[in-house]
Amino acid sequence: MVTFGGQNHLDMNSVPSGEGRVQGSNITPHHFKPFSSHAHYQQVMCALRKLQESGFYWGAVGGREASSLLRSEPPGTFLIRDSSDHHHFFTLSVQTARGTKNLRIHSEGGGFFLQPDSQNTQELPQFDCVLKLIAHYMGKGQGAERSRGGACGGEAKMEGPSNYLIHTGGERIPLELLRPLSNSLSSLQHMCRRTLNSQGLGGSEQAEQLPHTLRDFLEEYDAPI
């Protein structure tokens, strides 16, 4: 059960059928982190819907299972899953030269960001969507120097470097995101939409000339991955 404002109960499992499940599976998210506001709730729900369309959101798999899934994959392969820590909603699991590493994705009122490094005082960039966060660290952000609102509303704060260091065993490993590990096949329409987004068509002046139905379809998933 997720609480909102300490009074009203908002259960992520109560998302209408089809919205709270991973494509091709019966997995539903199960979290206990309280939302800071109704806007925060809407932001997380919007991010969840986009993740379910991404094809690499694995839902409620644990850290061990994520490691097993990624073990035979080359470094840079990654997936998004539900966080095992009830203080967070999502976790990024990525295969590195030192094995699988798990990074919590923090969610506050301002957006999503990777777990902070206590040895680095520089503020990490925040995004209104988990997919935009991933695209940023893949080097596919929609212009690191600019920010843009999307279907979730608000603006992604794009300031800051795209490099991120993972601390493990006394070492610092640069975060490298190259390829998501898919758990479902994407439709042809979705692959076309993703390609258009990667070319920067979504939200551009050219997109304004498209029919409303097509424009809405692009805006529902405005990430390039």
What pLDDT is attached to residue 18? 40
User: Which residue type occupies 122?
Assistant: Q
- Looking at the structure, tell me whether residues 151 and 85 fall in a common domain: yes
- Name the token pair of 95: 């295969």
- Looking at the structure, tell me whether residues 192 and 175 fall in a common domain: no
What pLDDT is attached to residue 77? 97
What pLDDT is attached to residue 206? 67
- Looking at the structure, tell me whether residues 157 and 224 fall in a common domain: no
List of E strands, 119-207:
165-168, 171-174, 179-180
What pLDDT is attached to residue 70? 97
- Looking at the structure, tell me whether residues 141 and 217 fall in a common domain: no
What pLDDT is attached to residue 207? 64
What pLDDT is attached to residue 101? 95
What pLDDT is attached to residue 163? 80
- Looking at the structure, tell me whether residues 122 and 224 fall in a common domain: no
- Looking at the structure, tell me whether residues 49 and 127 fall in a common domain: yes
What pLDDT is attached to residue 120? 67
Using an 8 Å Cβ cutoff, are 70 and 181 in contact? yes
Quote the CA–CA distance of 222 and 225 in Å, as a whole number: 9
| 4: three-class secondary structure by DSSP | strand
- Looking at the structure, tell me whether residues 164 and 61 fall in a common domain: yes
Count of alpha carbons within 13 Å of 204, Cβ hemisphere only?
11
- Looking at the structure, tell me whether residues 101 and 73 fall in a common domain: yes
Domain count for the chain: 2
What pLDDT is attached to residue 141? 60
- Looking at the structure, tell me whether residues 48 and 125 fall in a common domain: yes
**Domain limits at 211?**
187-225
Per-residue pLDDT of the chain (225 residues; tens, 9 = 90+): 333 444 333 444 444 434 444 444 444 445 557 788 888 899 999 999 999 989 999 999 999 999 999 999 999 999 999 999 888 999 999 999 999 999 999 997 679 999 887 776 678 899 999 999 999 999 876 543 333 345 565 544 444 445 888 887 788 889 999 999 999 877 788 788 777 777 766 555 666 677 777 777 777 787 788
What pLDDT is attached to residue 91? 97
Quote the CA–CA distance of 104 and 117 in Å, as a whole number: 12
Query: Which CATH number goes with the domain that contains 64?
Result: 3.30.505.10
- Looking at the structure, tell me whether residues 202 and 168 fall in a common domain: no
Nearest to 127 by CA among 143, 140, 114: 114
Nearest to 3 by CA among 53, 55, 40, 43: 40
Using an 8 Å Cβ cutoff, are 181 and 79 in contact? yes
User: φ and ψ at 101, to 5 degrees?
Assistant: -120, 145
- Looking at the structure, tell me whether residues 93 and 140 fall in a common domain: yes
- Looking at the structure, tell me whether residues 171 and 71 fall in a common domain: yes
